[in-house]
């Protein structure tokens, strides 16, 4: 491994992989075979940090590593001082709705926000207080008012006016004034030591206030975040984060296949229309400081009956499927293919995983080159491996092998591997938990 994994990272990685999910921390220790993609991500992030915006669709078949790529983007972006949120699209969270499902997606985005100093999600409180402190410091320096006095009720109006002046100057108007009002109420809650008021302000920012009447009564704010304007709020937050001192806002949408599964053609079209709007604004730099990523299957993007390609204007922007299988690499595409890892790359991944496992369990299990080769041969000899053998399945079985070695120290590694797979290798089948392109009536 290039860098030593810490015990905390190892703990996060092993627990996540045992559960079949992508780890939120330490993902760089598992990064194999994606060097060109990583360089492209770094280049895009550098452009976003200069005030740009962009969008990418990471497309691949089952097991190609879409979720892992989004996790990699999150890890790199956090290291480069971005605010990041990664969410799954679900039947109850989508881009367009009239029954709260779009607002539910927005709320999930806010709840999943992470920053470098707060990587466990729900970092919006940290961000708001950082910015309020910065506002107070700037006023103190400019007007020669001690910072402690700016936290007194008598000077509340000075700080509130400054907050509103900043948010009202955003390029994307949207809900910028109302966002400023909510942050001002949050500041008022700090000044008055009123936790209830802070919570109400956070509820508005999270999109949890259901009616304009409630918003007006509790906070004096006449508009709320809803199914129609939630993306405006995202753009406003991207500008806010940039003005605070972060590099920008990265939003990752995984499981885009849930849009493909929507049974009503009109509902799918409305969702694709909203994606087209996001595409246009990110490509024209109208959404300053925003980088949007999608993890999607091929059918989700290219199927002309149900996929994004069924919406004419979006089809023209996403290109055709033919170029997805080209051996020539072009990371400058908006729709980027993710090819499954090669056997050699999986081998390197397993070597790294062995080191991480040893750090996690404080053991010194040594899987030699021959042991890993034997394990991979057993995997590849199983019926169905060519179609359904994925890195997820290989990793899960490998961790089980390591568990057996750790708990049965008197058994030889060779016997454990043979015992695991049996004399007649069981067939590899599709992961029942992953129904990528199957149609469901929701």
Domain extent listing, the chain: 34-115+246-337, 124-219, 343-421
pLDDT of residue 68: 87
Q: Which of 442, 439, 441, 430 is closest to 61 using CA atoms?
A: 430
Phi-psi region of 411 (alpha: psi -120 to 50; beta: other; left: phi over 0): beta
pLDDT tens for 346-392 read: 888 899 999 999 999 999 998 888 999 898 888 877 765 555 566 77
> Which CATH architecture describes the domain 34-115+246-337?
3-Layer(aba) Sandwich (3.40)
The pTM score is: 0.86
Burial code (b: 16+ CB inside 10 Å, e: under 16) for 167-187 equals: beebebebbbbbbbbbbbbbb
> What is the rounded CA–CA span in Å between residue 442 and residue 438?
12
Backbone phi and psi for residue 427, each to the nearest 5 degrees, phi listed first: -70, 155
Q: Are 174 and 236 in contact (CB under 8 A)?
A: yes
Spatial neighbors of 227 by CB under 8 A, at least 6 apart, are 96, 97, 98, 99, 100, 101, 102, 103
- Bridge-based pairing of strands 249-254 and 335-337 is unpaired
Give 213's contacts (C-beta < 8 A, 6+ positions apart): none
Q: Where is mean pLDDT largest: 88-102, 110-124, 162-176, 381-395?
A: 88-102
Give the torsion through C-alpha atoms of 355, 359, 364, 366, to 10 deg.
-10
**274 Cβ contact list (under 8 Å, min separation 6):** 95, 96, 102, 231
Q: Which of 45-59, 117-131, 157-171, 228-242 is least confident?
A: 117-131
What integer pLDDT is reported at residue 420 of this predicted model?
84
């Amino acid at each position: 491994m290039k860098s030593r994994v810490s015990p905390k990272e190892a703990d996060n990685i092993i627990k996540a992989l045992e559960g079949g999910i992508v780890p939120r921390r330490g993902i760089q220790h598992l990064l194999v075979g994606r060097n060109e993609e990583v360089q492209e991500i770094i280049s895009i992030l550098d452009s976003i940090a200069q005030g740009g915006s962009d969008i990418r669709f990471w497309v691949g078949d089952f097991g190609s590593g879409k979720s892992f790529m989004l996790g990699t983007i999150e890890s790199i972006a956090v290291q480069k001082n971005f605010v990041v949120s990664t969410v799954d699209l679900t039947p109850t969270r989508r881009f367009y709705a009239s029954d709260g499902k779009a607002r539910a997606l927005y709320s999930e985005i806010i709840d999943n926000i992470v920053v470098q100093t707060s990587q466990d999600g729900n970092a919006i409180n940290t961000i708001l207080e950082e910015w309020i402190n910065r506002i107070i410091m700037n006023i103190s320096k400019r007007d020669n008012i001690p910072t402690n006095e700016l936290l007194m009720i008598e000077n509340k109006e000075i700080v509130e006016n400054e907050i509103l002046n900043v948010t009202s100057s955003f390029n994307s108007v949207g809900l910028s004034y109302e966002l400023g009002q909510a942050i001002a109420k949050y500041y008022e809650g700090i000044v008055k030591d009123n936790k209830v008021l802070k919570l109400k302000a956070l509820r508005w920012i999270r999109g949890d206030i259901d009616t304009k009447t409630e918003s007006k009564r509790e906070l004096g704010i006449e508009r709320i975040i809803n199914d129609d304007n939630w993306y405006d709020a995202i753009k406003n937050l991207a500008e806010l984060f940039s003005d605070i001192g972060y590099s920008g806002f990265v939003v990752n949408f995984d499981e885009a296949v849930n849009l493909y599964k929507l049974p009503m053609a009109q509902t799918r079209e409305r969702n694709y229309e909203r994606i087209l709007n996001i595409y246009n604004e990110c490509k024209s730099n109208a959404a300053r400081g925003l980088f949007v990523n999608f993890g999607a299957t091929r059918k989700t993007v290219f199927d002309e009956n149900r996929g994004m390609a069924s919406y004419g204007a979006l089809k023209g922007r996403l290109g055709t499927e033919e170029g997805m299988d080209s051996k020539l690499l072009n990371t400058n595409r908006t729709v980027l293919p993710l090819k499954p890892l090669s056997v050699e790359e999986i081998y390197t991944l397993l070597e790294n995983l062995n080191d991480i496992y040893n750090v996690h369990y404080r053991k010194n299990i040594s899987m030699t080159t021959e042991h890993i080769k034997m394990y991979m041969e057993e995997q590849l000899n199983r019926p169905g491996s060519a179609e359904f053998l994925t890195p997820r399945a290989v990793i899960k079985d490998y961790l089980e092998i390591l568990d057996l070695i750790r708990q049965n120290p008197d058994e030889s590694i060779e016997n454990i591997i043979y015992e695991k797979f049996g004399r007649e290798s069981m067939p590899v089948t599709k992961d029942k938990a992953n129904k990528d392109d199957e149609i469901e009536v929701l």
